[in-house]
């Protein structure tokens, strides 16, 4: 039997996702994970990108200043038997079907 692996779902959201009403946001949060039972950690929402500080070799700057309409909005952790299973769960995440969010699924590495 294959051991389960933890996968991080990096949730990249758009302006539309960040501008949901409180009721829409609550419904979105409750639906997260598609009821798969594989969600290990949830609810790690990040503050807006404008609140970030970016540390680089040349110093510290305000915000991420990325040339993109998407920004890292949060993350969740799944524990599944395969990357394929984690991807199938990510496909069910609210907002993916509307183009509001993109999810990068990445396996974790034990340190």
Closest C-alpha to 86, from 5, 21, 18, 1: 5
pTM of the model: 0.69
> Residue 20 and residue 98: Cα distance in Å, rounded?
13
Per the structure, the count of domains in the chain is 1
> Residue 14 and residue 71: Cα distance in Å, rounded?
7
What tens digit of pLDDT does each residue of 33-52 get?
A: 545 556 666 666 777 777 77
CATH number, domain containing residue 95 = 3.30.70.1060
Confidence of residue 1 (pLDDT cuts 50, 70, 90): very low
Domain span including residue 61: 5-107
> Residue 74 and residue 84: Cα distance in Å, rounded?
21
């Amino acid at each position: 039997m294959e051991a389960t692996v933890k996968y991080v779902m990096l949730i990249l959201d758009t302006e539309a996702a960040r501008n949901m009403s409180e009721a829409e946001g609550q419904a979105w949060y409750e639906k997260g994970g598609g009821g798969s039972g594989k969600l290990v950690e949830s609810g790690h929402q990040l503050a807006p990108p404008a609140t970030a500080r970016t540390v680089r070799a040349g110093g510290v700057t305000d915000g991420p200043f990325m040339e993109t309409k998407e920004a890292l909005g949060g993350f969740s952790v799944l524990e599944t038997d395969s990357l394929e299973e984690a991807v199938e769960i990510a496909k069910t995440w609210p907002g993916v079907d509307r183009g509001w969010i993109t999810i990068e699924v990445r396996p974790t590495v034990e340190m």
